[in-house]
Amino acid sequence: MKDKGYEDFLRMDLSHYSGEWIAICEQNVVSHGKNVKLVYTQAKKKYPGSIPALVLVPGKEKWIF
């Protein structure tokens, strides 16, 4: 059985976060930026009871099609 959250993540258009860290809580991008610690801290402030998933979105030169 596949995880619905993971399937939703795979369908997200993350191209405008290219080269940045993103924090995902409740299947939404809640913070993004170049500094992973800051992204995590911002996400924890917005969703204090959650553990954000952190993902580094590949830069435009690293996308594979």
pLDDT in tens, 1-43: 456 667 777 788 888 999 999 999 988 999 999 999 999 999 9
50 CB neighbour count, 10 Å cutoff = 14
For the chain, what is the domain count?
Answer: 1
What domain range is 28 assigned to? Answer: 4-62
Residue-level pLDDT at 1: 43
d(CA 63, CA 57): 9
Residue-level pLDDT at 15: 87
pTM of the model: 0.80
d(CA 30, CA 48): 12
